[in-house]
Each structure stands twice: as structure tokens, then as C-alpha cells.
Amino acid sequence: MDELDRAIVNVLQGGFPICDEPYREVAEQLGIAEAELIARLGRMLEEKSLTRFGPMFQVERMGGAFVLAALAVPEADYERVAEQVNALPEVAHNYRREHALNMWFVLATETPAGIAAAIDSIERTTGLKVYAFPKLKEYFVEMKLAA
Amino acid sequence: MTDIPTLDADDRRLIVATQGGLPLTPRPYHALAEQLGLAAEDVKVRLRRMLESGVIRRIGAVPNHYALGYTANGMSVWDVPDARIDALGEQVGRLPFVTHCYHRPRALPLWPYNLFAMVHGKSRGEVEAQIEQIAALLGDDCRARDVLYSSRILKKTGLRIGG
């Protein structure tokens, strides 16, 4: 990522406009051509410097549920279990972390009942106990980092 | 924002059409409108309404924080008294380097922690210094602590709902 890529990411972590030509509006703000902004966004998505570009949905505001969960996976089974967990569409993201609980993932489902079903499915396919950590209270969420 | 906003069938089609991302064309909302058989104005109105009601948190880019150099991401976890957790959680959440802060249940005996604070830094040293700031803030209310570093992204797709 070069300086201009970073400037684009910083601007686009704020709100992308809802208007007829939003890329043109953002490009003008950055002092670049609309086509260049679109091309760079495409490249950053392609090379995965950006994981997403678009609306960020809050599943709870849609009547759904969002739960952090973890597994203690034996090292020898790690790749197999990662594949099994990732195969579920309800798994929104999944990270390896260094702890006895070494696989941490987020389940996002359209209904609260979907969480229990997804946990049940993971326990059956992996043979491991799922530790669920539903949020009891949110104090702060703002995933913005200076690029 | 306690009532769940009502979403109709077209809202849901719009969610399904955009959950993979916005079209990278000069008029992305027109492109969506054409794809869904809606008026462009209708698409924009629906998106604005979902932003206002919190169904959409924001429209924008989600950087891969590894690509930005934030290679150290520590999930710091703390055991604090339940009676004090709301006051402490609010204070920890206000620290500039904390990106997420939640009260979550313990899972005893394996997991005694009830306060989760995600910290991002460009080195493990930076993250450790930030975590010491949290420890200082918690003081004697911290009964046990740990930090879990992420060593690999196994999946990151975000929300996917069915059509």
C-alpha cells in the first residue's frame, strides 16, 4: 500500500456518501480522479488490503444475533477443524489465538435460535465443546485504525 | 434504539445484494437499483433509513489490519468484580487504542474473565504497553488477566444472510 492507498483507506473508514456519484465525491475530496479511486479500491480488495467495501450491517438491529465463541482444538486436528468451522456460513470470522482456547470465531445468524443451531452443528462435526461468550454489555465498538 | 426496525422484502434483497460489497462503478446505487428492479432513489432512501435505524453501522472500507501494519492484535481479558464492571468497562472503552470492549460471561473453571478489551498495535511491545495502561486503570479491581494474540486469520467474510 502506498501513501495514496492509505489516504483512501482513512477517508473510507468514515461514511461513504449516499448520492448519485459517491466515488466522484470522495475522489474530489482526495484530489484524485474518480477512475483512479475505483481502480485502487478494486486492487486493494483483490490483494486483500481491504477485507470489505460496502455497508457494515449490525445483525442485532435486524433481529439476528452475533456471538463470540471459542474451541480448544488439539494441534494435530487444527486444519481439519478450521475447515469444518469455516464451512458454516454463520461463521463471520475466525482467528487463531495462542491460548488453550485456540480458535475464536464469531457466529452471526438471522435469529437468536440460529446461534444454538450453529453451535450444535459445530459440536457435532468437530466433536469439540463450543464455549460461547455472548456479549452481556457493549461498552465501545469502533474498528477504525489509522492507515 | 431498542425496538427492532422493520425490514421489508426489498430491504432484505438490498442487504443480500450489498453484503459482499458495493459495486465498483461510478453510479453504484443505480447499478444496485437496476439489479434489483428498484428505482435508484428508492435504493438510496432505503440505505439512508437503515443507517439511521442502526441496521447499517456505516458504509465504508474495512481494512485488513495486518496490511496496515497492525500486526499485533491482542484480545485482553480481565476478571473484575461484577458489581464494578459497568463503570470499569466504560473507562476501558474510552482508551484510544481499544477498538472493542465488552462484558461477556465467564466459563469456569477454564475461563475466569468477564471483561474483554481488544487492542491493536504495530508491535507486540506496543500492545503490551497499552495493556499495562488498562491494568493501571483497573488497579485492585483486576483479579486475573490474560492476553490472547491472534496469529492467523482463518476466515473473515463478515455477515452473510440468505436470499
The domain limits of chain A are: 3-46, 59-133
* B-proximal residues of A, 44-103, CB under 8 Å: 44-45, 48-59, 61-64, 68, 72, 82, 85-86, 89-101, 103
Euclidean distance between CA atoms B99 and B120, whole angstroms: 7
Vertex B118 angle, CA A56 and B82, to 5°: 110
Interval A60-115: pLDDT, tens = 888 888 899 999 999 999 999 999 999 999 999 999 999 999 999 999 888 889 99
Interface A-B: count of C-beta contacts within 8 A: 242
When pLDDT is cut at 50, 70 and 90, the band that residue B2 belongs to is low
CB contact under 8 A, B24 and A42: yes
Please state whether beta strands B98-103 and A137-141 pair in parallel, antiparallel, or not at all (unpaired).
Answer: antiparallel
Nearest beta carbon to residue A50 from set B50, B62, B148: B62
How confident is the model over B35-90, as pLDDT tens digits? 999 999 999 999 999 999 999 989 999 888 788 888 888 999 999 999 999 999 99
> For A95, which residue in chain B has the nearest alpha carbon?
B153
Residues of A in contact with B90 (CB under 8 A): 139
Q: How confident is the model at residue A146 (pLDDT cuts 50, 70, 90)?
A: low
Pick the CATH number of A59-133 from 3.30.70.920, 3.90.1170.50, 1.10.1270.20, 1.10.287.3610: 3.30.70.920
Q: Which residues of A touch B32 (CB under 8 A)?
A: none
Model-wide pTM > 0.80: no
* B92 in contact with A, Cβ within 8 Å: yes
Q: Which domains does chain B have, with CATH numbers?
A: 9-53 (1.10.10), 72-149 (3.30.70.920)
Under DSSP, the state recorded for A107 is E
CA distance A87 to A90: 9
Find residues 56-75 of chain B whose CB sits inside 8 Å of chain A.
56-65, 67-68, 70, 75
**Sequence-separated (6 or more) residues with CB below 8 Å from residue B49:** none
Question: For the segment B4-33, what is each residue's pLDDT rounded down to a tens digit?
Answer: 788 899 999 999 999 889 999 999 999 999
Question: Would you call B160 an interface residue with chain A, using a CB distance cutoff of 8 Å?
Answer: yes
User: Which of B5, B28, B157 comes nearest A92 by C-beta?
Assistant: B157
Phi, psi (rounded to 5 degrees) for A57: -90, 145
DSSP state of B15: H
Instruction: Please answer yes or no on whether A140 and B100 come within 8 Å at the CB atom.
Output: yes
Residue A50 near residue B97, CB atoms below 8 Å: no
Q: Which residue of B68, B104, B148 is in closest CB contact with A147?
A: B68
